[in-house]
Amino acid sequence: SWGCQIFSGHDPAHVEDASALVVTAAVPQDHPEIQRAREIGIPVMKRAEALGGWVNQGTVVAVAGTHGKTTTTAMATEALFAAGMDPTGFVGGRVLDWESNLRFGSDKLFVVEADEHDRSFHHLRPTVAVLNNLEADHLDIYGDLDGVQEAFEAFLDCVHADGQVVACGDDHGVSRLLAGLGRPTRTYGLNPGAQLRGIELRQEGGGASFQIVESGESRGEITLQVPGRHNVLNALGAAAAARSLGAGWDEIAQGLASFKGVSRRFQVLGEVGGVTVVDDYAHHPSEIEATLDAARDRFPGRRLVAVFQPHLFSRTRDFADAFGKALAGADVVWVTEVYPAREDPLPGVTGVLVAQAALASGACDVSFHASLEELPEALLPSVEAGDVCLTMGAGSIEFLGSDLLAALEDRHAERGGVS
């Protein structure tokens, strides 16, 4: 509908009439279309560079952080739209209301997910920068936490001189970064020192609600359709961004209340025979911990069965112990083999490391099953009525939930519809 010509498959001929070739980090440099573009002099640019070239022509709200970028970006877009603006929102996941990762608006206002991988966010020139959190990640690129912090410092240097930085004061990594920033910053969070603060948190049904306090003044209640303390913080970051552009509190509350969520972010896929299946993109130890905490809030008293597919050999090597500790928060733990994505295998690095770490962290019921395809049938004896099964990871595990529901349907039918 936008006049784009879509090709299926890979062929050097696809680039012959192109003005430029835009590639993501997942595409190897020896790809035949990239090689052909270079042979005939067609510029090859990273996706992040192309995105910056587009959005930097307008007002940019850039949402950065190790976690929560997609949800916060989508929330901020909805809040600004409710306030009478018509922003373009661009995120790394499928927003349920948009049925896409893109909401195309008519204003020259762009709310974008600022990806730190490979320093992609350095191509943005934000008017408002949101900083959710800062932890060690992408250590194959940055080496250590100091390297990550330096990349975020450089990102904040990209903010316009008269722009606004809003940052989560609850996060230790963010606080460490802000201490040496040398520019005014607006903080949000749950702690008493935050300029924009959430208080009186309540988990209600499938979502959460809280009271907003801005500079000591009560601003009313925010109700969310998504659960968890982490989503309250995401909403506070989105609200702070919207306030920086003049949105009123009634409109912000309306926009946040309308937000239904993002695909693979605590997405309840269904329930069969009393077993609820939830899918989440969690692929970092802190994200697993937040997802399990949200599940405890959303489904109190129910047994949690965590199924995790590690993502990247380097990340598995660097965080195996932390993954195990986070997964030990579930009642039952299943680990499958590493999803390699862009990486080649590393000697001795497999999903077994994570399973062993979960056992060492006190988990009592831990299983490793290398084959994702066979996992639904392997899982069946472990799940019964009342359980919540959470599939987590950034790779092909996204398809496991629907396969598990189908297996549960078959079992339910075999039992004569009795749970």
**H helices within 245-350, ranges in order?**
249-258, 285-298, 313-327
Burial class for 207, CB neighbours closer than 10 Å (0-12, 13-18, 19+): buried
Burial class for 2, CB neighbours closer than 10 Å (0-12, 13-18, 19+): exposed
Q: What is the H or E stretch that residue 37 is in?
A: helix 32-39
Coil/strand/helix, residue 266: coil
CB 267 within 8 A of CB 380: no
DSSP bridge pairs for 307: 334, 391
**Rg (the chain; Cα; Å):** 22
Q: How many residues does the chain have?
A: 419
* Active site (catalytic) residues: 69-70, 113
* Nearest-angstrom CA–CA distance, 247 and 240: 9
Q: At what angle do helices 229-244 and 69-82 cross, to 10 degrees?
A: 50
Using the CB atoms, write b or e for 15-39: b if 16+ within 10 Å: beeeeebbbeeebeeeeebbebbee
CB 272 within 8 A of CB 412: yes
Cβ atoms within 10 Å of 311's Cβ, excluding its own: 23
